[in-house]
Structure 1
Amino acid sequence: MAGSSVLSDSSNSSNPPTLSRTLAIIKAHAIKDRFEIESRIAAAGFEIIKERQMGFHADDSGVHSLFGDAASSLSGEPIWIYVLERRRAVEVWKALMGPEDPETARADAPDCLRALFGQDITDNAVYGSPDNSMAELQINSIFVSSPPFPVQELEADDVPPLELEHHAPASSHHSGRSASSSVGSAQGDSSIRVDVKSRSNGFKARPVPSTTAVPSIAPKTTRAAALRAGLELPSPKRSPASQESIARTFENVPGHKRAIVSNAEYLYTRTWH
């Protein structure tokens, strides 16, 4: 929104916000767009700590206690659940999701997740924890058998800026909508805006080894498999075996002529012949 402000930690760099986590859910109807949603999650600076696919029963009271009015839209078909981590995780995820009603989202924040992937106010693509305390409760309840590792704080020099500006993929789910515009504030939080701009973090990967780019080992196949695949293999060149190679092959093999005769056998044959 025009009245929203972009937050930065430059004014309070001596006491930066700590890392926090939020529960994020892709609803059943939007799982087909999961990889595109994940790319936008990564572009917003989140780290995926845990993820799993699971389903809830609509008549489970525990689901209603964890998700409130959103329980009905999360029950029935399988959904995809994440534990996301970054600084101010709950607030940033709310801004990335956008307004609860996709129609409102498309009018006010056309590049938020609900505007791009939501269908109606029930099937609005994604869900997020309402606050930090509920986020911890939801995470501990859903991942009770394999809880995430404790939050690891970064050193002061490694603190990423809190300015919510990240590069988003150029592709957009709806035509005529640029992925480089801003995502408006969501769910009543007018103090956050995710401006999608490119930013380099200084990381440079090592080049791919030449042995990987040009493999030296080719897969071995049989002639029958090559014929089924429509491949032509060169005919092997065969030549008749020589008498010397045949003699070496059957040398000292029972039933064939022996190359070495012991003294005892020689005397025995001489005696009887």
Structure 2
Amino acid sequence: MPAPQKRPRFRDRNNVLARPEFMSLNQPVASQQEPRTFNRKPSVPAGNNSTDNARERRQSQQLPEEDCMQLNPSFKGIAWNSLVAIDICMSKRLGVCANSASSWGSARSMVKLIGLTSHGFPWIGGTLVCLWKSSTLAGQEVLMNLLLALMLDILTVAGVQKLIKRRAPYEMTPSILDYLLLDVYAFPAGHASRATMVSKFFLNHLVLAIPLRILLVLWAFVVGLSRIMIGRHHISDVLGGFVIGYLQFNLVEVLWLSSNTCQMLTSLW
């Protein structure tokens, strides 16, 4: 009896399929793998198969759009996604002062200072001081309409930003002043819209020399560029701010307050 037992052991030792790492090859292959389902009953009558299939078909049709794959997107969708990708890529490349570790990180404080020249608080405060010290009706008229334009800019930018809720290209926490002016999101760029509106306002209602007029236009452009360099806005956010600022100026021109109206408003306080 011992001799017959040694032969099978010797054959099992030489058999490759008997090794532990190849034991799965000796298992029989299942003819059909059943899909894993939860709470499935072991046996379902044949008459309920059609109702289950119909219920699964209805559930698959009710999936949200973000869970569905668009196998044939439209040309408009492809073009829009391409433009958004280019906008994000170029904005990140131009964000050279986004943090201290960036390529131009040492100039971040100076670039932020350029953006502060178009902040809402300095402009509103300066306009109120000038309006309080103004003694001419023409000056009060211009300053009162400028104050109206600044308030309109803050409300418009805050409303559009709250509606779109676009994030900045870099993860940045807005400052306390941004929270007070409701300038939290990226689109549109409030500093760019304000700089465009103010520069256009001064060009139309103040008599300035040609060098000063050129400096006003360059100032509005540099303010928008500085917001991209510090990583606060995308390129499209700044361009949208330029457009909104120009439209706001045209609206203020349509709603221009007369000298009598401005004198009545200033007499209230």
TM tier relative to shorter chain: under 0.3
Q: Answer 1 or 2: which has greater strand percent.
A: 1
User: When the two structures are superposed, what TM-score results if normalisation uses the length of structure 1?
Assistant: 0.23
User: When the two structures are superposed, what TM-score results if normalisation uses the length of structure 2?
Assistant: 0.23
Q: Answer 1 or 2: which has greater helix percent.
A: 2
